[in-house]
Chains A and B, each alone.
Chain A
Amino acid sequence: IAGITQAPTSQILAAGRRMTLRCTQDMRHNAMYWYRQDLGLGLRLIHYSNTAGTTGKGEVPDGYSVSRANTDDFPLTLASAVPSQTSVYFCASSDRGTSGYNEQFFGPGTRLTVL
C-alpha cells in the first residue's frame, strides 16, 4: 500500500441497507477525515479523528458513524442508507503536528448510489 486507499470504488445500495466504507493509510498520519462531495456543494466534513481512539463530528454527521481503533484504519458506516446519501465519499489523512500545518492527503474516493 502506498498512501491512502478506499474500498469499494463504487457501490449501488438499496435504501435501508447497512454499508461500511473502508479507508486505510500507511503514512502513519495521526488525523483522518471523511468527506462527502456533491455537485455544487464542495467537500463537506462528515466525521474526523485527530488520533487513534478519538473521533469527532463534522458538518454533516447525521446517518453516519465512524471508529478509529488504530492509526491506519478509519471505516465509515451508514447504518440505514437513504437516497440523500448518494454521493462521492473521500477519506483523507494528515500529519497534524504542533505547527498545526494540516495538508490533507486524499484517497481515490467511493462513489455510492442509494436507490
Chain B
Amino acid sequence: GQNIDQPTEMTATEGAIVQINCTYQTSGFNGLFWYQQHAGEAPTFLSYNVLDGLEEKGRFSSFLSRSKGYSYLLLKELQMKDSASYLCAVSDSNYQLIWGAGTKLIIKP
C-alpha cells in the first residue's frame, strides 16, 4: 500500500528553527510537495523536490532523500504566522498526489 507518515503535532518557539519530517512508501515517485494550510483555509504550495538534496526558499527549506524515502521541511526564524498545518504529498507513478495527514505546528511566544 501507499503510506505517508509525518508527526501529528509539533510545538516550537518564536524565532527558533523547527524541522518537520515526512517518510513515504509509494508506488512510484515523481516528486514530493510541501503545502501549508492555515486553520479554516485551503492548502497553499510551499516547495517541490524531485532530486536528492536541499531546496532553499527564504526562511523555508526542503530536503529529499529518495533512497531513504524521506523528506523534511525546515522553518527558520519562526514567526507567529507560521502556526499552521504542514502537509507532505508524494506524486506517485500515476502522477496523483498521495497526502500525509499533516503536521500541526504550534508557535509559542
Q: Is B7 in contact with chain A by the CB < 8 A criterion?
A: no
Over the window 1-14 of chain B, the binary record of Cβ atoms lying under 8 Å from chain A Cβ atoms (1 yes, 0 no) is 00010001000000
In-complex Cβ contact of B96 among A42, A45, A109 (8 A):
A45
Q: Is A102 in contact with chain B by the CB < 8 A criterion?
A: yes
Residue of B nearest to A90 (CB): B42
The interface size bin for chain A is 20 to 34
Q: Is A53 in contact with chain B by the CB < 8 A criterion?
A: no
A contact residues vs B (CB 8 Å cutoff): 40-45, 48, 58, 90, 96, 100-109
Q: Main SS of chain A's interface residues?
A: loop
What separation, in Å, do the CA atoms of A24 and B30 have in the docked complex?
27
The interface size bin for chain B is 20 to 34
Contacting residues, chain B, for A107 (C-beta < 8 A): 42
Contacting residues, chain A, for B30 (C-beta < 8 A): 100, 102
CB B7 to nearest CB in A, in angstroms, measures 13
Known: A42-B99, A42-B100. A106 touches B43 (CB 8 A): yes
What separation, in Å, do the CA atoms of A4 and B20 have in the docked complex?
29
